[in-house]
A and B are shown apart, each in its own frame.
Chain A
Amino acid sequence: MQPINEFSGIVCPLNRPNIDTDQIIPKQFLKRIERQGFGQFVFYHWRFDDDGNKREDFVMNKTQYKNAEVLVAGENFGCGSSREHAPWALLDYGFRVIIASSYADIFYNNSVKNGILAVKLTEEEVATIMERSKEEGYSIHVNLEEQSVKDDKGFTANFDIDPYWKKMLLNGWDEISVTLTDEDHIRKYEEKMYGKQYS
């Protein structure tokens, strides 16, 4: 995955709680066997009507959010299905940072593993960003090392992130390679529990 530390981008507000992964990427698009190319289908039924025409009133379709790279959304973002196609689609569409007050556990893990920075702020802080992002060109600056979010109008907030995931994101490490450096522990466990070596 791509490492991430400092990131600035235009913010697109999606003011709904409990946005589930069926909305982020509907099931008819889960049949591909690649990781790429899902961005065109992100929020498909919110972005397009039944005939495939753009819904002009949907926030992501408005010109001012065309180049948005930060998505701010309501609480419990990414609930439901474990489909990693959801972060693949968000990333492929161009979102590198998500801001919400809470995330579903599986979605959060899936995001981290794809180099998406899912920032947890308080409900009040999310509401502030949501409100300010109505203004054209509103962007925020995220710094993972500092664990901070700032805008150009004096908004500043800090967020918590597990130190392990932080390190993975900052370095863009391949997790399997990291784990395999721990293979001795795995071997010992297998010998103890299964009485056998598997590698």
Chain B
Amino acid sequence: MTKKTVIEKIWENHVVNREEGKPDLLYIDLHLVHEVTSPQAFEGLRMNGRRVRRPDLTYATMDHNVPTINRHIINDPVSKTQIQTLEQNCREFGIELADIDHPDQGIVHVIGPQLGLTQPGKTIVCGDSHTSTHGAFGALSFGIGTSEVEHVLATQTLWQQRPKTLQIKVNGKLGFGVTAKDIILAIIAKFGVNAGTGYVMEYTGEAIRNLSMEERMTICNMSIEAGARAGLVSPDETTVEFLRGRRYAPQGEEFEEAAARWLALATDEGAEYDKTLEIDAAEIEPQVTWGTNPSMGSGISGSVPSPDQFNREADKESVRLALEYMGLEAGTKLSDIPVDFVFIGSCTNSRISDLRAAAEVAKGRKVKDHVTAIVVPGSQTVKQQAEAEGLDKVFIEAGFQWRESGCSMCLAMNDDIVPPGKRCASTSNRNFEGRQGNGARTHLVSPSMAAAAAVTGQFTDVRELSSVNQ
């Protein structure tokens, strides 16, 4: 029997039609919808008198625009319209919606896994590039544009070119104080922002196997920052145990049957990939980005590079522009860079284990006076769990603001904006120009590194902070 990767197995299971000279028509098992990329798609359905083919496979929430304080007061009338439009569309087309008052509301990529909607072997799409997050479960999940959202709503299928497969193998064991976020930032720094373009990636190796589901989600989430629409981890016992008892997962005997099916999806021993890239976990330090794309970063012991260190003219120029935008001098040690804002949240790092990691650093310390630090849980469920564990008190006592769930300062579509010229240590996924606010300067880090920056007022190697080090 041919040996196959998890990617090929899921693909084959979903081909509705295959014809010479055309992409494959793939069936979609789960379509997640949010307020920003869906209004024009629903409008398209209405204009053509079409319905939603599988409302039972469609699930909506509102996350990008929602306020994280006084969440019922949306000052921006355009944001408000977008949220009301989603409510109307879900009513009209019969789609289940976790609205702003719903206990399940949260960032779409946090609630899918939390509810057990995300399952191994599914094809999952959403009008959001960070849909790659769900790949952590061994699901083929990728972001789509609004035309494709409309296409899935109307037909429950998508035309897709068969992707090439890229194995990213993370060998060995992670060092102390190094997290999943540091693995993915190190991968992108090493291989570049378009290493995965045209590929679906599978993360393999000892370091990946040892990660929890939440950590795997952090890694798969940023596959798109390496250019890959989708990134997966083969399902294993960790995957199965995470899903056991979740509301939308199969229950009882059906669960055991499903679990056996899921485990059989894992990549066969000896299956071949179109390409393999490897990295040694032991060489990864806590990471900090210094530039304006996620590959412009290094370990905390590093320094801001000079454009001259790059070979290609295009790279020299983009590093020069990045340093100008970031207000950084070549040669500055990353650990000497001060911060003004700290954001702990986003679909990359807003789950309970992320908040625990940040709280462990914050506990018994104080946010520096000149720093504004906010913690935005990924969902209402995460928020409640954190409060049950007393994490909210730890953060508040340390001087962090404790907020309601949403995308928040990751892309600053609500009121959580970093002002021009200010520098933010952020657990999110993009350090593009203006991402967190016009003129804002973003440095991507892990939750514990963000908390360390908040309490020391500058980037600090979290491994050197005493309580963490015990």
Q: Which one, B37, B79, B82, contacts A82 given CB within 8 A?
A: B37
Name the interface residues of B34-56: CB closer than 8 Å to any CB of A. Answer: 36-37, 39-40, 43, 48, 50, 53-54
B296 to chain A minimum Cβ distance, whole angstroms, is 10
Q: Complex formed: what's the CA distance from A104 to B23 in Å?
A: 18
Decide yes or no whether B96 CB sits under 8 A from chain A. no
With both beta carbons as reference points, the residue of chain B lying nearest to A36 in the complex is identified as B40
Decide yes or no whether A57 CB sits under 8 A from chain B. no
With both beta carbons as reference points, the residue of chain A lying nearest to B149 in the complex is identified as A84
Name the interface residues of A66-116: CB closer than 8 Å to any CB of B. Answer: 74-76, 79-84, 87, 102, 104-106, 109-110, 113-114
Chain A residues within an 8 Å CB radius of B224: 80, 106
Most buried by A among B37, B78, B146: B146
Whether the pair A162, B193 counts as a contact (CB closer than 8 A) is: no
Chain B residues within an 8 Å CB radius of A182: 16-17, 25
Whether the pair B145, A109 counts as a contact (CB closer than 8 A) is: yes
User: Residues 225-251 of chain B: 1 if any A CB is under 8 Å from the residue's CB, otherwise 0?
Assistant: 001110000000000000000000000
User: Residues 28-57 of chain A: 1 if any B CB is under 8 Å from the residue's CB, otherwise 0?
Assistant: 101111110000000001000010000000
Residues of B in contact with A, size category: 35 or more
Whether the pair B27, A79 counts as a contact (CB closer than 8 A) is: no
Chain B residues within an 8 Å CB radius of A81: 128-129, 411, 430
Once A175-B147, A179-B151 are accepted as A-B contacts, the answer to whether A34 and B65 lie under 8 Å apart by CB is no
Decide yes or no whether B157 CB sits under 8 A from chain A. yes
B129 to chain A minimum Cβ distance, whole angstroms, is 4
A148 to chain B minimum Cβ distance, whole angstroms, is 21
Decide yes or no whether B293 CB sits under 8 A from chain A. yes
Whether the pair B194, A79 counts as a contact (CB closer than 8 A) is: yes
Once A28-B413, A50-B439, A106-B145 are accepted as A-B contacts, the answer to whether A185 and B127 lie under 8 Å apart by CB is no
Chain A residues within an 8 Å CB radius of B411: 22, 27, 81
Q: Which one, B36, B155, B194, B318, contacts A30 given CB within 8 A?
A: B36
Decide yes or no whether B150 CB sits under 8 A from chain A. yes
Name the interface residues of A167-183: CB closer than 8 Å to any CB of B. Answer: 175-176, 179-180, 182-183
Whether the pair A26, B438 counts as a contact (CB closer than 8 A) is: yes
B58 to chain A minimum Cβ distance, whole angstroms, is 12
Decide yes or no whether B198 CB sits under 8 A from chain A. yes
Decide yes or no whether B144 CB sits under 8 A from chain A. yes
Name the interface residues of B364-394: CB closer than 8 Å to any CB of A. Answer: none
Once A76-B194, A79-B194 are accepted as A-B contacts, the answer to whether A22 and B25 lie under 8 Å apart by CB is no
Q: Which one, B81, B412, B432, contacts A80 given CB within 8 A?
A: B432
Whether the pair B434, A31 counts as a contact (CB closer than 8 A) is: no
Decide yes or no whether A17 CB sits under 8 A from chain B. yes
Whether the pair B318, A18 counts as a contact (CB closer than 8 A) is: yes
With both beta carbons as reference points, the residue of chain B lying nearest to A109 in the complex is identified as B145
Q: Complex formed: what's the CA distance from A193 to B161 in Å?
A: 22
Q: Complex formed: what's the CA distance from A156 to B222 in Å?
A: 38
Once A82-B144, A109-B148 are accepted as A-B contacts, the answer to whether A179 and B157 lie under 8 Å apart by CB is yes
A73 to chain B minimum Cβ distance, whole angstroms, is 11
Chain A residues within an 8 Å CB radius of B145: 82-84, 87, 106, 109-110, 113
Decide yes or no whether B433 CB sits under 8 A from chain A. yes
Chain A residues within an 8 Å CB radius of B128: 81-82
Whether the pair A105, B420 counts as a contact (CB closer than 8 A) is: no
Whether the pair A23, B40 counts as a contact (CB closer than 8 A) is: no
Whether the pair A114, B147 counts as a contact (CB closer than 8 A) is: yes
Q: Complex formed: what's the CA distance from A34 to B78 in Å?
A: 12
Whether the pair A31, B78 counts as a contact (CB closer than 8 A) is: yes
Decide yes or no whether A125 CB sits under 8 A from chain B. no
Chain A residues within an 8 Å CB radius of B43: 33-34
Q: Complex formed: what's the CA distance from A79 to B127 in Å?
A: 15
Once A106-B144, A162-B161, A185-B25 are accepted as A-B contacts, the answer to whether A34 and B432 lie under 8 Å apart by CB is no
Q: Complex formed: what's the CA distance from A16 to B411 in Å?
A: 22
Decide yes or no whether A63 CB sits under 8 A from chain B. no
A99 to chain B minimum Cβ distance, whole angstroms, is 15
Q: Complex formed: what's the CA distance from A114 to B147 in Å?
A: 8
Q: Complex formed: what's the CA distance from A116 to B12 in Å?
A: 31
Chain A residues within an 8 Å CB radius of B228: 105
Q: Complex formed: what's the CA distance from A113 to B147 in Å?
A: 7
Q: Complex formed: what's the CA distance from A163 to B40 in Å?
A: 28
Name the interface residues of B144-192: CB closer than 8 Å to any CB of A. Answer: 144-148, 150-151, 154-157, 159, 161
Chain B residues within an 8 Å CB radius of A27: 411-413, 435
User: Residues 307-331 of chain B: 1 if any A CB is under 8 Å from the residue's CB, otherwise 0?
Assistant: 0000000110110010000000000
Name the interface residues of B401-426: CB closer than 8 Å to any CB of A. Answer: 411-413, 420
Once A18-B318, A105-B227, A110-B145 are accepted as A-B contacts, the answer to whether A45 and B433 lie under 8 Å apart by CB is yes
Q: Which residues of B contact A (CB under 8 A)?
A: 16-17, 21-23, 25, 27, 36-37, 39-40, 43, 48, 50, 53-54, 64-65, 76, 78-79, 81-82, 85, 127-129, 142-148, 150-151, 154-157, 159, 161, 193-194, 197-198, 224, 227-229, 293, 314-315, 317-318, 321, 411-413, 420, 430, 432-435, 438-439
5 contacts between A and B (CB under 8 A): A27-B435, A31-B79, A33-B40, A176-B151, A189-B27
